[in-house]
C-alpha cells in the first residue's frame, strides 16, 4: 500500500494559455495520489481537511483506488484555497490573483477577494499550521506500508514526520520540499531533513531559491547529497529531470515525455506532484531510481494533457504503453 501525504485544496488557476479554471478539486497530496494510482496500486491520501471541504469531491476518489480513510476532518472550517498563474515564459506565480485575472480580462472570483497565498506559516520549524500533518494523525492500521511520499507541507511536518514513519515500519520515504522553506535562512533545517529520507525531489525553482539563480543544478544536487540525501531528483519542467546518486555521485539527466511545444499540453498544474507519485511506485517496484523515473515522467505526461486532478485517471490504460515507449 502506498500513501501520499500533503494538501487537499480548492484550486483557482490561470493556465499558460490565459484560461481561468476555478473551484477545482486539487492539492499536492491528491495529484501525487493520482500519479501513483495510474499504476494500479492501492493508494491512500493522508491530509487534514476542514469541516467545509466538500465531501462530494472526496467520495468519487474511492472508485479510482484512492482511499480517503486517512483524511483527518477537523471540526472547524479551514482555508483550502490555492491560486496559481502560469505565465507565458514558464514561471508560476501564486500571489496577487487580482492582477492576473485583470491580465486575462476576467473578473476576480469573489472567493479570492482577500487571498494572499496558500502556504502561510509553512516555513515555521516550531509550529504546525492547522492543516499541517503531525505524528498523531498517522493511522495505526498503516503500520508497515510500502512507501510514503511527503508532498510540500509545513516545515515542522517535514522535520518530524520521517523519523515517526521509520518507527511505523515505513521502508521508503520520498519528500518534495515546501517552497516557503527552501531559502538560505532555513538551510540548517533542510540539512536535518535530508538524512532521514530516501529521495529528495525539489523543483528547479526551489533549487534556485535556496542556492541562487545562477547555480548549476547538478552542483546544487550534489551539495544536497553531501547534506545526507541518498538520491536527489530535480524536477525541471519541460527540460525533464536530473537524478543524482549520493553514493556514486552519478549525475543522470532524463528528458520529459513531451517537448516544450507539444500541442497535447493543456495544463501543467500538478505535474511535479504526479511525477512524485509515479516515481514512488516505480522505486518500490524496481528498487532502482533510474527505472523509477520513467514511471514519474509518464504520470506527469498524462496529468498535463487535461484539466483537473482526476483527468489522468480516465487514461490509466495508456500508462503502461507510455512506460514501454520510454524504456525502449
Note the pLDDT tens digit of each residue in 227-263.
Answer: 999 999 999 988 999 999 999 999 999 999 887 778 8
Rg for the chain, CA atoms, rounded: 18
Q: Where are the beta strands (DSSP E) in 146-292?
A: 147-150, 172-175, 199-200, 231-235, 241-245, 251-254
Averaged pLDDT score across all residues of the chain: 93
Note the pLDDT tens digit of each residue in 273-299.
Answer: 999 999 999 999 999 999 999 999 999
Check: CB of residue 210 under 8 Å from CB of residue 187.
yes
What pLDDT score does 92 carry? 80
- Measured CA to CA, the distance from residue 208 to residue 223 in angstroms comes to 13
Checking if the pLDDT of 93 tops 70, the result is yes
Determine the average pLDDT of the residues in 78-86. Answer: 90
DSSP H or E stretch at residue 46: strand 43-49
Checking if the pLDDT of 121 tops 80, the result is no
What pLDDT score does 19 carry? 87
- Measured CA to CA, the distance from residue 11 to residue 217 in angstroms comes to 30
Check: CB of residue 127 under 8 Å from CB of residue 160.
no
The dihedral region occupied by 96, where left means phi > 0, alpha psi between -120 and 50, and beta the remainder, is left
Q: Could you tell me the residue ranges of all domains in the chain?
A: 2-327
- Measured CA to CA, the distance from residue 254 to residue 249 in angstroms comes to 16
DSSP characters for 250-279?
A: -EEEE--SS-TT-TT----TTHHHHHHHHH
**How much of the chain, in percent, has pLDDT values that exceed 70?**
98
- Measured CA to CA, the distance from residue 286 to residue 177 in angstroms comes to 24
- Cβ atoms < 10 Å from Cβ of 254: 18
Check: CB of residue 11 under 8 Å from CB of residue 26.
yes
Checking if the pLDDT of 119 tops 90, the result is no
Which carries the bigger pLDDT value, residue 96 or residue 193?
193
Q: Which CATH class is domain 2-327?
A: alpha beta
**How much of the chain, in percent, has pLDDT values that exceed 90?**
75
Determine the average pLDDT of the residues in 99-116. Answer: 90
What pLDDT score does 95 carry? 86
Q: How confident is the model at residue 118 (pLDDT cuts 50, 70, 90)?
A: low
| Assessment of whether the complete model's pTM goes beyond 0.85 | yes
- Measured CA to CA, the distance from residue 132 to residue 52 in angstroms comes to 16
- Measured CA to CA, the distance from residue 77 to residue 21 in angstroms comes to 23
Counted residue by residue, the chain has a size of 328
Determine the average pLDDT of the residues in 77-81. Answer: 92
What pLDDT score does 44 carry? 97
Note the pLDDT tens digit of each residue in 12-34.
Answer: 989 878 889 899 888 999 999 99
Name the nearest CA neighbour of 9 among 90, 105, 115: 115
Q: Which DSSP state fits 207?
A: H
Note the pLDDT tens digit of each residue in 145-160.
Answer: 999 999 999 999 999 9
Amino acid at each position: 500500500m502506498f500513501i501520499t501525504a500533503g494538501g487537499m485544496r480548492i484550486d483557482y488557476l490561470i493556465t499558460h494559455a490565459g484560461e481561468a479554471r476555478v473551484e477545482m478539486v486539487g492539492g499536492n497530496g491528491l495529484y501525487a495520489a493520482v500519479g501513483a494510482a495510474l499504476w494500479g496500486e492501492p493508494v491512500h491520501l493522508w491530509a487534514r481537511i476542514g469541516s467545509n471541504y466538500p465531501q462530494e469531491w472526496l467520495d468519487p476518489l474511492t472508485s479510482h483506488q484512492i482511499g480517503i480513510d486517512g483524511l483527518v476532518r477537523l471540526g472547524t472550517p479551514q482555508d483550502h484555497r490555492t491560486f496559481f498563474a502560469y505565465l507565458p515564459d514558464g514561471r508560476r506565480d501564486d500571489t496577487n490573483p487580482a492582477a492576473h485575472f485583470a491580465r486575462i480580462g476576467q473578473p476576480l472570483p469573489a472567493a479570492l477577494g482577500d487571498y494572499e497565498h496558500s502556504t502561510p506559516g509553512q516555513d515555521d520549524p516550531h509550529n504546525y499550521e492547522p492543516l499541517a500533518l503531525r505524528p498523531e494523525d498517522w493511522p495505526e492500521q498503516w503500520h508497515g506500508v510500502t512507501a510514503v511520499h511527503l508532498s510540500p507541507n509545513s516545515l515542522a511536518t517535514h522535520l518530524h514526520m520521517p523519523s515517526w514513519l521509520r518507527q511505523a515500519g515505513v521502508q521508503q520515504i520520498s519528500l518534495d520540499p515546501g517552497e516557503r522553506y527552501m531559502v538560505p535562512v532555513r538551510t540548517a533545517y533542510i540539512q536535518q531533513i535530508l538524512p532521514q529520507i530516501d529521495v529528495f525531489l525539489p523543483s528547479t525553482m526551489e533549487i534556485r531559491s535556496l542556492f541562487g539563480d545562477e547555480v548549476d543544478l547538478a552542483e546544487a544536487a550534489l551539495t544536497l547529497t553531501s547534506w545526507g540525501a541518498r538520491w536527489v531528483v530535480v524536477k525541471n519542467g519541460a527540460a525533464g529531470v536530473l537524478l543524482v546518486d549520493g553514493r556514486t555521485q552519478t549525475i543522470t539527466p532524463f528528458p520529459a515525455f513531451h517537448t516544450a511545444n507539444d500541442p497535447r499540453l493543456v495544463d501543467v498544474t500538478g505535474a511535479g506532484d504526479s511525477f512524485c507519485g509515479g516515481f514512488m511506485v516505480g522505486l518500490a517496484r524496481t528498487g532502482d531510481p533510474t527505472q523509477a523515473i520513467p514511471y514519474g515522467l509518464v504520470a506527469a505526461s498524462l496529468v498535463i494533457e487535461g484539466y483537473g486532478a482526476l483527468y489522468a485517471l480516465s487514461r490509466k490504460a495508456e500508462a503502461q504503453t507510455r512506460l514501454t515507449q520510454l524504456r525502449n
